[in-house]
Amino acid sequence: MVKVMANKNTYDEKSIKILEGLEAVRKRPGMYIGSTDKRGMHHLVWEIVDNAIDEIINGYGDYIKIILQKDGSITVADNGRGVPIGMHESGKSTPEVIYTVLHAGGKFENSGYKVSGGLHGVGGSVVNALSTKMEVTIYREGKISQIKFKNGGEVASPLKTIGESKKTGTIVNFLPDKEIFKNCNFSFTTISERMQESAFLLSNVTIEIIDEEDNLNAKYHYEKGINSFVEYINENKNPLHNVINFKNTKNDIEVEIAMQYTDSYNEQIISFVNNVKTADGGTHEVGFKTGLTKAFNDYAKNNNVLKGSLDGSDVREGLSAIISVRIPENLLQFEGQTKGKLGTPEARNAVESITYENLKFFLEENKEVALSILDKAAKSKLAREAARKAREQVRKGTGKNNKERILSEKFAKATGKNYALNELFLVEGDSAGGSAKSNRNRETQAILPLRGKVLNCEKASAKDIEANAELRQIEYAIGAGLGPDFDYHESNFGKVIIMTDADVDGSHIQILLITFFYRFMRPLIEQGMLYVATPPLYSVETSKGKIYIADDEELEEKRKEAKAPLKIQRFKGLGEMDADELYETTMNPLNRRLLRVTLNDAAIAEKRIHVLMGDEVAPRKEWINENVDFTLEDDFRK
């Protein structure tokens, strides 16, 4: 991995620039960290870790340690240069400025950092603002210095020297404010998965995570960098060749790409900018896709391999790729505070050029690999065109099975024409489907009953979907296409809601359907349009009438509140509810509880779906043993 070196003599008190205060953070934390749920609380960790990583990618330090403390706080330690400890021109100590003033940092002038992921400079101060306590210990200039904060940024103890040391680095400990992050705890798994990605991207770094409460430990170090990342993603797949890696610099933008094709039908492209994941892509991903498609089409044309040209989706079928770019501060543009999408125009040209030139050379030098990939892409093109033709015939009503006939038997339409308000319920079983149909809002709610378990789409092709009656009905009901042709703007529904029994079979159907949507209608998930209904587990007779209980935890609370024994009924399936109960508890927007299916991390989602739905039994057993608690208890009559 190439190190980007900064001038070691210019990161000091004068590097820190104050842009504005921090008053708004506690009032509107979502503006700065995205949300105040578990995801937002973990964003605090990423902000502090990003500062440590910025030190490493600029050539300082090679070790990060994260400790989940027993008191609920978290500690992030690095062996970088250490935060400057001199007096700032504002009259405050520099650490106080960094951790109490919004947009104060060494990343607004090119002198401190050449490359940085934490561009906005809100990291330390926002974390402090949303914590009940923060303690910063600094190893620098032969001294150990420390400053403490309380109540969201108040100085509890000013910067002082507490010892001497030849080490360098920064240790930050903070406790998130429970009034802001209610019922949230740090997750060892979530942090480990994120840190493993960082270790893949920094081949010279070691990252250790320790959970003191549960006595867990993980350590990551990868000599082969992002090549190891691709191998990790594809470890349960069948690769067509060894990992291809190339890197170069163009217009001061460093580009490194690792890629490998497998016999899968799915593509997996994960991109990073200055070690920050760009979940929503951006100009660098556009450049990579353009360069990739051009390289393969030019090779096919120059070697008379194919007639016509390949679409980008054909070329990317079965591809796993990691894109890592390093962009100087003066060129770096993110879209939004959470840095999910790159906007730098120069990145597109740099990545496209480097991808095209390196891939073109590789294909010419590796004919056998080139032909195997092109053969796969050609088959993808044929299958895509055949599936599209079949769908067009259905839409026009000229096919053997037109859309109306396919859907007429079971599908209950919504009469409303405002598609954004319409909802499609995918209901387990004809019995529950019948109840749902009889007592729904006919204007906005459509019902499609499903019989049994649908096809496992982990290794399915578009042709397989067209041959499967259940999934074909879902496809035609939604009406927005399939795979590369799917356009969520064309969806007949603003919400697609999976409604199954609250048992093992129901959960399995949920996973199968989510796998289908992930593989063939992924934008539906990315746009927050896919939901899972959560029918109540219990009904309870009280003196005030019947109430419905969502889960065992809520039932236990009701038991504690009750002065007399409760009369409890457990619903073992949707079919046990009458039409009124089903509507009021699970379909009525005023009462129902829906879980939105989200895609926070595509790489982790890809890995988990493949483990759970793939052919390999051993990895699935291992995952279940590590992540699922089994119990024989089913006593709700107390």
Q: 513 is written with which tokens?
A: 């359907």
- Category of 275 on φ-ψ map: left (φ > 0), alpha (ψ -120 to 50) or beta: left
For the chain, report the end-to-end CA distance as a whole number of angstroms.
Answer: 62
Q: Which of these is catalytic: 12, 505, 576, 601?
A: 505
Tokens at 89, concatenated: 């021109």
Question: Which candidate in 55, 352, 501, 606 is catalytic?
Answer: 501
Number of alpha carbons in the 13 Å side-chain half-sphere of residue 310: 31
Q: Tokens at residue 176, please?
A: 């998130």
Set 267, 314, 428, 470: catalytic member:
428
Query: Is 333 in a helix, a strand, or coil?
Result: coil
Burial of 287 (0-12, 13-18, 19+ CB in 10 A): buried
d(CA 495, CA 418): 12
Residue 552 known to be catalytic: no
| Contacts for 581 with CB less than 8 Å, ≥ 6 apart | 539
Active site residue 503: yes
Among 287, 415, 265, 268, which residue's Cα sits nearest to residue 351? 287
For helices 226-233 and 188-201, angle between their N-to-C axes, nearest 10 degrees: 130
Token pair 């279940």 in the structure block, residue: 624
Nearest to 609 by CA among 498, 513, 496: 513
H or E, element range at 220: strand 216-220
Across the strands, what pairs with 595?
Answer: 532
d(C-alpha 195, C-alpha 201), whole Å: 10
Q: Which residues make beta-bridge pairs with 546?
A: 541
615 is known as an active-site residue: no
Q: What is the four-CA torsion angle of 66, 68, 73, 75, rounded to 10 degrees?
A: -20
Kind of pairing between the strands at 104-105 and 154-164: unpaired
Query: Which H or E run includes 170?
Result: strand 169-176
Distance (Å, whole) CA 431 – CA 443 = 22
Measured distance CA(194)–CA(47) in Å, rounded: 12
335/341 Cα distance (integer angstroms):
5
Buried-exposed string 619-636: b where 16+ CB fall within 10 A, e elsewhere = bbeeeeeeeeeeeeeeee
Phi first, then psi, for residue 577 (nearest 5°) are -90, 145
- Helix runs in 58-187, H state only: 94-100, 123-129
Question: H/E element holding 49?
Answer: helix 38-57
Q: Which two tokens stand for residue 293?
A: 């498609």
Q: Has 629 been annotated as catalytic?
A: no
Distance of alpha carbon 61 from alpha carbon 207, whole angstroms = 11
Q: Whose structure tokens read 């940024």? A: 153
Which of 109, 382, 367, 349 has the alpha carbon at shortest distance from 248? 349
Annotated catalytic residue, options 208, 335, 357, 503: 503
Active site residues: 428, 501, 503, 505
